[in-house]
């Protein structure tokens, strides 16, 4: 995926969005129109109620694999457009995904949970000089995580990241509000990677909520949640009350996710590139019937 891929959010003003010569054209109430090549848009976030978007533009964005998010009054994404056709061998990969043996899915989930806990441990050690025992806990994760070490690690992690009073609660107006937004954008990036790899984002390895249309994206994003957590900690390290998800908060979260580089077998790579790479490894696991998912940092 080219490093020019962009996440564009339109929140502070009304606008008319259309397609012109393979360009996303944004007409604002004042000033000249802004144009961006459609193929460079990774995600378009529509967060103002006074926006008009043409059907031709939506179709062109879908053809390029772009995610389109529509935000609600709270500025959090409320709906998502996914491309229906993400890969020329999509049917073959859908079938491999649906028919994946349960033991294989459990082993893939074990690797994901282990990497998530290790990344939480690294963040705590980096910010506070102590990983709260999470590195040792990660080594104990078994296939399918039957002991729910992911949950046990989370309890230790949040207590040590922001301090003992903090609890992860979507409805509390503090750092949770920033986390909600960052995770929503990360989820969109993961869903896009799943579609580009020819996978169906609904069919998960572990997440199986009947009301969740993005179970696989939720699985794939898990190891990278600490990327959001690091950004949020930098924005609100004292966990002060956040009355509103401000423009600067959103900009920092989006830019941070786009700019973060993490270690991989190909060296330090941008997060969007890594999501695509690991989605490809999940595909290969389904097709080969064996684990092909490997996190370089583990």
Fold of 6-81: Ribosomal Protein L15; Chain: K; domain 2 (3.100.10)
> What angle (nearest 5°) sits at the alpha carbon of residue 149, between those of residues 146 and 155?
140
Kindly report the average pLDDT of the chain as a whole number: 91
Q: What is the per-residue pLDDT for 3? A: 42
Which position has the higher pLDDT, 155 or 207? 155
Sort strands 267-270 and 261-264 into parallel, antiparallel or unpaired: antiparallel
Q: What is the model's pTM? A: 0.87
Q: Is CATH 2.130.10.30 the right assignment for the domain spanning 90-288?
A: no
Q: What is the per-residue pLDDT for 1? A: 39
Query: pLDDT confidence of 86, banded at 50, 70, 90?
Result: low
DSSP for residue 16: E
Share of the chain above pLDDT 70, in %: 95
Task: Quickly count: other Cβ atoms within 10 Å of residue 19's Cβ.
Answer: 18
Please state the rounded mean pLDDT for residues 23-45: 93
Q: What is the per-residue pLDDT for 210? A: 58
Q: What is the SS3 assignment for 19? A: strand
Contacts of 186 (CB under 8 A, 6+ apart): 221, 224, 225, 227, 228, 257
Which position has the higher pLDDT, 265 or 161? 161
Q: What is the per-residue pLDDT for 164? A: 81
Residue 127 has pLDDT above 60, yes or no: yes
Transcribe 104-159 into DSSP letters: HHHHHHHHHHHHHHHHHHHHHHHHHS--TTHHHHHTTPPTT-TT-HHHHHHHHHHH
Helix then strand then coil, in percent of the chain rounded to 5, is 45, 15, 35
Kindly list the domain boundaries of the chain, sorted by start residue: 6-81, 90-288
Contact 41, 32 (CB under 8 A): no
Measured distance CA(33)–CA(108) in Å, rounded: 46
- Closest among 61, 94, 92 to 203, alpha carbons compared: 94
Query: pLDDT confidence of 88, banded at 50, 70, 90?
Result: low
Contact 127, 90 (CB under 8 A): no
Q: What is the per-residue pLDDT for 261? A: 94
For residue range 189-247, what is the model confidence (pLDDT) as tens digits?
998 899 888 888 889 999 876 556 789 999 999 999 999 999 999 999 999 999 888 88
Please state the rounded mean pLDDT for residues 19-28: 96
Measured distance CA(127)–CA(84) in Å, rounded: 41
């Amino acid at each position: 995926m080219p490093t020019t891929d962009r996440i564009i959010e339109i929140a502070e003003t009304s606008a008319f969005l259309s397609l012109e010569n393979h360009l996303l054209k944004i007409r604002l109430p004042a000033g000249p129109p802004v144009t961006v090549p459609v193929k460079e848009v990774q995600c378009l976030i529509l967060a103002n109620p006074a926006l008009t978007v043409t059907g031709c533009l939506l179709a062109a964005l879908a053809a390029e694999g772009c995610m389109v998010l529509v935000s609600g009054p709270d500025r959090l994404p409320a709906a998502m457009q996914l491309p229906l056709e993400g890969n020329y061998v999509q049917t073959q990969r859908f079938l491999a995904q649906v028919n994946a043996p349960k033991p294989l899915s459990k082993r893939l989930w074990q690797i994901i949970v282990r990497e998530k806990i290790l990344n939480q441990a690294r963040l705590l050690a980096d910010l506070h000089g102590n990983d709260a025992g999470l590195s040792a806990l990660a080594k104990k994760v078994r296939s399918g995580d039957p002991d729910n070490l992911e949950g046990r690690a989370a309890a230790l992690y949040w207590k040590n990241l922001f301090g003992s009073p903090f609890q992860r609660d979507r409805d509390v107006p503090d750092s949770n509000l920033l986390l909600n937004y960052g995770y929503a954008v990360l989820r969109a990036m993961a869903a896009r990677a799943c579609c580009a790899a020819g996978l169906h984002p609904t069919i998960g390895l572990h997440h199986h909520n009947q009301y969740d249309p993005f179970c696989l994206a939720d699985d794939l994003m898990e190891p990278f949640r600490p990327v959001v957590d690091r950004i949020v900690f930098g924005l609100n390290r004292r966990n002060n009350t956040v009355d509103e998800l401000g423009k600067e908060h959103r900009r920092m979260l989006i830019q941070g996710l786009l700019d973060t580089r993490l270690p991989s077998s190909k060296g330090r790579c941008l997060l969007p590139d890594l999501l695509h790479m690991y989605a490809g490894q999940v595909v290969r696991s389904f097709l080969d019937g064996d684990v092909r998912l490997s996190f370089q940092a583990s």
